[in-house]
Amino acid sequence: MRIAVLNGPNLNLLGVREPHLYGHETLAQINERLGALARELDVEISFAQFNGEGEMIDAIHAMRGAIDGVIINAGAYTHTSLAIRDAFAATGICYVEVHLSNIFAREPERHYSMLASGAIGILCGFGAYGYEMGLRGLVTALSRG
C-alpha cells in the first residue's frame, strides 16, 4: 500500500508559526513519526509540502495510479479550493483531511471545508497526532476495500 502525505501553504513553518494554534512540532518531526508508523503498518509513505495551489494539484494528478491514498492538510486552501477537491475527484484517489487546530472553533471563514465532501474522514483539533490517526484510519479503510 502506498500513501502520500500532502501539506499546504505555510505548514513548512510549523514549530515557529503560531505555536499556540499549531504546536511546537516541526513538519519534519511530524513526518518522522509518520514514517515510523508507516513502517509499523507495513506501508510505503511519501511526503510533500506545497505553498502553491497549482503545484499541489499537479502533484495529485501525478499520483493517479501510483498512490493508494492521501492524507492532506491543505491549510488555507481547505476553505477555498474547489480545484483541489476536483483534482481528487478526477483522479479517484481516496483521502483523509487533517487539521492541527479545530477549524470549527476558529474564525468563521475556516468553518467550511471545500474538501470535506470527498474525504473518507476528517480529523481536526488533535494537533500533530491527527496525522497518525489519519494514517491508521486511511490504511484500515483501504485494507477493507
* C-alpha cell read off for 75: 491549510
DSSP 8-state symbol, 74? -
CA separation for the pair 95, 84 (Å, rounded): 12
Active-site entry in 22, 77, 95, 131:
22
CB 121 within 8 A of CB 131: no
Beta strands in 1-145 (DSSP E): 2-7, 44-49, 69-73, 94-99, 121-124
CA separation for the pair 11, 31 (Å, rounded): 12
22 in catalytic set: yes
Active-site entry in 77, 95, 99, 131:
99
CB 60 within 8 A of CB 6: yes
99 in catalytic set: yes
Catalytic positions: 22, 99
